[in-house]
Each structure stands twice: as C-alpha cells, then as structure tokens.
Amino acid sequence: LKKYEETRWLDVLKLQRAADVSQAWFEEIRRWRDFDPEQFAIKLLSRSKRVTHGNLKKRDPAYIERVDQWFASHMGLKDVDVLPPPMFTPFTLRGLKLMNRVVVSPMCQYSAEDGTPNEWHLVHLGSRAIGGAALVFGEMTDVSREGRISPGCAGMYKPEHLTVWKRIVDFVHENSHAKIGMQLAHAGRKGSTKLSWEGSDEPLPSGNWSLISASAIPWAPENQIPREMDRNDMDQVKEDFIRAAQMATQAGFDILEIHMAHGYLLSSFISPLTNIRKDEYGGSIENRMRYPLEIFDAIRAIWPSEKPISVRISATDWVPGGFDGEQAVEAAKMLKAHGCDIIDVSSGQTTTMAQPVYGSMFQAPFSDRIRNEAKIPTITVGNIQNWDQVNTLIVTGQADLCALARPHLIDPYFTIRAAVEQHYPDIPWPKQYLPAKPKN
C-alpha cells in the first residue's frame, strides 16, 4: 500500500488540483458573461488546464478550426490564405503593431559593467528577436547606480548606456520583424546584492551602496535596512525615471515597461506588508498606489503618445493579509485611468514570507481576472512551457500576450519552431536561415 501511495500521490494531487481549478472557474463564471459563445465554450472546455487547444484539435479538428476562424475574424483578419493558430494572430497597442502574441520576458543577465550593456546583451536580445517573437524586452534596467540589484545589472543613467542600448535596438529593427521594449526599475530594498549565480538576494560582502524603500524594512534579516524615503528621495527617483525614459526614447525603444512588481522600489509602496507609512503614501490602496502613479504620470507625459506603456505588477504577495487579487484589479483600474496600455501580470517575490502555489501557467488566473474585470489588456507570464499553452491562453481570453522566459533561454527560436511544428508558414524567417525552412 505504501509503494502504491508513493507511486500514485503525484497523479492524485494533479487530479485534485484540476478539480479545484475547475470549481473555481464556475465560482467566477460572471467574469466571462460578455464573452462570445465560441470563446466561452472553449474556455469552459479547458477550464481545468488539463484540456488544451492542442488536445481539442486532436479530438475534434473541425471544432478547433471553427474556433480559430472565429478568433482570427475577431482579431480583424479577413480572407487569409492560411488560418493562423491563435498565437500567430497580430495584436496592436496604440501605434505598436505586433506580428504575434509571443513576448521574450525581461531576464536579468547580471553581465553589465557599471550599468553598461555589452556584446552579451546584443547577442542575447538579437538572437531572440530573429527567433520569431513579436516583442523582446531587455532586462530590468535600473534608472540610477543606486537603483541596481547587483553590480552586474544594466542601467539607463549614463550617456554610454544610451549608446550601447541604441546599437542593440538598431540591430533588432534592422535584422528582424520584432519590436523591442525597455523595462525600467529601481531595486529599492532588494539592491546591493550578489550576482544571481553567486547568491540570489544575498548582500554584497563589500562595496555596498545605501538603499531606500517605502518603509525601513529589510528584505531579509541579513540584508541592509533601507532608509524610508522622504520627499527629496521621491523627487530624485522620479527625475531618474524621467531621465531614463527620455534616453529610452532616444534609443528608439518601441514600448516602455515600468517595473512595479517583485518587491522592488515601486512594488514596496504597493504592498501593505512592505509599506507601513503613516503619511499620504501609506494605508489604503489609493494611498499605496499614489507614488507609483506619480512615477507613471511623469513618464507618460514625456513618452511619445503613439508608443504604449506597460506596467508589471505582482498580483498577489502569496501571504494572508498582503496584496491580493482584489487589490490587483483595483490597482489595474487606476493604472488604466492614468493611461497604462497593458498590465504585465506576475506575482510574489515581494516578501520572504510568501507561500506561492506553483504549477503549469500558475499566474494565468491573475492575468485572466485583471483582464476581464479591469477591462485592460494583459501579458501573462510564469511557467508557460510550450506553444500549445500559448494558444490556449490567448484563445480563451486569459491574456493578450504571453511572456516566456526560460523557454527562450534554452531555445531563442521558440516561435519559429512553434510555427514549424504547427505547419504554419506565414512567419518571417531571417533570410540567412531560409535553407532550414520547411518547403511545405
């Protein structure tokens, strides 16, 4: 019996989890009452995450062809020669036109010198751009030297930073059909730490810099205690964000993302676990969002009107009494009212007390809720492993874009490979790689 239990426990756990997810779907069914019947039906069928777009295509190809035809038409595609899978439908934000729904998620490389990116960043981002993704984000890019996570983090606060970033942007634009975005951030209390492979979030043994945060609460007992920001600090950081955004404009980036997640500076204002201020910047969700919105407004005012701005948030702290899904919807509504175009929905990493529940596409429900309650486009991210999951997330209305990190680390050509495996020919290939393109 013990051997049997050891063999079967994981499968039983998965089945129980699927049942829980399915039950939760019915509890929130009002969220999707405005869906077109075609989309509502496939969302119902795939609610447990054990049934996907690809599963259904094997079982009933005619049904999925009808779904894909509806989705393509819904996206404005008429009289196409080859019906695209959902992940290969275009998407538009302001003046930004994306050729598909795949995003290379921002991934810190910890390989810059005093904030300056180098040949590694050119190859890393360039290869993923020519690999077929519609949008490639550079890593979390810090707005000041003191705003870095580690000594190896990239920045946008010196003239030489602009020069190298522009070279990378130009390469992407000249050699691919991808668009490229910059994610701006300040590390806050999670700064002055070792490179990731030397000890993630561990403080530097020497050469530390002073830290600031919403409140004087360290990331962990062994980390430095940050200084609670005063008005002068807030004004300085705002100027740093403005300068970095102006430099991003000069470099030619197509979209800007403001990092308000994962426990970094702006995130520390949003979570009630890290913001215990007694002034107008602490307390209610409106107060806790006040400073992040001041930063957003300052950037939106100088960022070109035809270019979109994304905001990444942690939709939950994964801690009772912390920031949660309901507050995330309210925060998204506030950001939308201030001109945010899309929410990049992540979760956690705001406190060491977090108890996340991992699993396949584990953050998609947060994206789904924000998209369909706050009525704003979303990017979903987190353990999205293959193109079938991307198709499923997009066609069921859980997100508008899918950001993948680790799959792009192991395969820069994830999107081209996805097109080949789905026998979809209408994706641009680099002319240098055309000999590898299947003939039919």
DSSP codes of every residue in 278-347: -STTSSSHHHHTHHHHHHHHHHHHHS-TTS-EEEEEES--SSTTSS-HHHHHHHHHHHHHTT--EEEEE-
The reported pLDDT for the residue numbered 187 is 98
Give the separation between CA 255 and CA 312, rounded to whole angstroms.
Answer: 13
> What average pLDDT score do residues 103-115 get?
97
| CA dihedral for 215, 216, 218, 224, sign (positive or negative) | positive
Give the separation between CA 304 and CA 246, rounded to whole angstroms.
Answer: 10
Tell me the one-letter amino acid at 23.
Q
Tell me what percent of the residues of the chain surpass a pLDDT of 90: 91
* pLDDT tens readout for residues 357-416: 998 899 999 999 999 999 999 999 999 999 999 999 999 999 999 999 999 999 999 999
DSSP codes of every residue in 195-237: -HHHHTTPBPSSS----EESSS--SSTTSPPPEEP-HHHHHHH
The reported pLDDT for the residue numbered 233 is 98
Give the separation between CA 141 and CA 165, rounded to whole angstroms.
Answer: 11
DSSP codes of every residue in 83-135: PPPGGGS-EEETTEEESSSEEE--------BTTB--HHHHHHHHHHHHTT-SE
* pLDDT tens readout for residues 31-52: 999 999 999 999 999 998 889 9
Residues 6+ apart with CB under 8 A from 14: none
Give the separation between CA 132 and CA 429, rounded to whole angstroms.
Answer: 7
Give the separation between CA 172 and CA 169, rounded to whole angstroms.
Answer: 5
The reported pLDDT for the residue numbered 368 is 97
The reported pLDDT for the residue numbered 8 is 85
CATH superfamily to which 85-436 belongs: Aldolase class I (3.20.20.70)
Place of tokens 């953050």: 363
| Interior angle at CA 127, CA 406 and CA 177, nearest 5 | 110
The reported pLDDT for the residue numbered 11 is 81
Give the separation between CA 374 and CA 307, rounded to whole angstroms.
Answer: 21
The reported pLDDT for the residue numbered 6 is 81
6 vs 291: which has the higher pLDDT? 291
Q: Which of 16-20, 226-230, 315-319 has the lowest mean pLDDT?
A: 16-20
Average pLDDT, the chain: 96
Residue 232 dihedral angles phi and psi, to the nearest 5°: -60, -40
The reported pLDDT for the residue numbered 48 is 87
Tell me the one-letter amino acid at 79.
D
> What average pLDDT score do residues 349-363 get?
94
Domain spans in the chain, listed from the N-terminal domain onward: 1-83, 85-436
* pLDDT tens readout for residues 284-303: 999 999 999 999 999 999 99
Mind telling me the catalytic residues?
Answer: 264
Q: Contact, 252 vs 166, CB < 8 A?
A: yes
Q: Contact, 400 vs 344, CB < 8 A?
A: no
CA 409 to chain CA centroid, nearest Å: 15
The reported pLDDT for the residue numbered 69 is 96
Q: Which residues of 29-57 are buried (b: 16+ CB within 10 A; e: fewer)?
A: eeebeebeebbbebbbbbbbbebbbbebb
Q: Which of 17-21, 60-64, 338-342 has the lowest mean pLDDT?
A: 17-21
> What average pLDDT score do residues 1-18 get?
81
Task: Give the closest residue to 340 by CA, choosing from 256, 281, 396.
Answer: 256
* pLDDT tens readout for residues 124-182: 999 999 999 999 999 999 999 999 999 999 999 999 999 999 999 999 999 999 999 99
Evaluate if residue 440 carries a pLDDT over 80.
no
Residues 6+ apart with CB under 8 A from 432: none
Task: Give the closest residue to 41 by CA, choosing from 82, 71, 21, 20.
Answer: 71
Tell me what percent of the residues of the chain surpass a pLDDT of 70: 100
Give the separation between CA 394 and CA 389, rounded to whole angstroms.
Answer: 9
Place of tokens 């969302």: 43
Give the separation between CA 295 and CA 292, rounded to whole angstroms.
Answer: 5
> What average pLDDT score do residues 413-434 get?
96
The reported pLDDT for the residue numbered 16 is 82
